[in-house]
Amino acid sequence: MGLPLPSTIVEITPPAAFPISTAEAKLHAHVDQDDEDALVDVMIGAATGAAQRETGRQLMPATRELVLSAWPSASARIPIPTPPLSSIVSIKYQDGDDVEQTLAEGTDYEVDTAWEPGTVYPSTGATWPTVFDRPDAIRIRFVAGYADADSVPDAAKIAIRQLVAHLFRQRESFHIGQGFTLHRVPLFFEDLLSEIKIWEVY
């Protein structure tokens, strides 16, 4: 199973919430005042992003699109990145005449969420269709992430709380300008996340 071809992942709809709340982060960091809640939220966002990059997982539900220039092969099982895979929204492609077409789940392809990462593959008797030669010939839109914060692995939530507390105490570890830059991540962060890390996505 693999994707030797170039691919791009586009975020369509971001998560509506973080894996931990502002109150949970403040309690862990022993922060009593409310005047820096906005900063704590920025730190939660940065820590969540760092946890997702480290593990290769999507923690809270988000809609994304995997963009491919071609199928790996006519019958390939295609892994969907940033597990856990919740559902496939659509698979669209540009046919040989560069006209957009939409494949039908259950007729043209099947979805397997039992794999990690989840996969899509042609239905029995079907193959992936011929596509036009362009970088975005295939667009697989999907929903990934755990159902809610309670379903997110404890290791991820603990790591995020620990990192937020670390950032709050060691503010030289980050810089806020046009965006949020995390200069370094403490070793405990990687250790906590190692048990849920996806070591090979493709």
CATH of domain 13-59+149-194: 1.10.3230.30
Residue 128 contacts residue 48 (beta carbons within 8 Å): no
Domain ranges of the chain: 13-59+149-194, 62-144
Among candidate residues 77, 69, 37, the one with its CA nearest the CA of residue 133? 69
- Enter the pTM of the model: 0.86
Separation CA 67–CA 115 (nearest Å): 20
pLDDT of 115 higher than 70: yes
At 56-94, the pLDDT tens digits run 999 999 999 999 999 999 999 999 999 999 999 999 999
Rg of the chain, C-alpha, whole Å: 20
Q: Output the six-digit token pair for 110.
A: 């099947």
Which amino acid makes up residue 157?
K
Tokens of 151: 């379903």
For 169-188, what is each residue's pLDDT tens digit?
776 555 544 444 455 667 78
Measured distance CA(182)–CA(158) in Å, rounded: 18
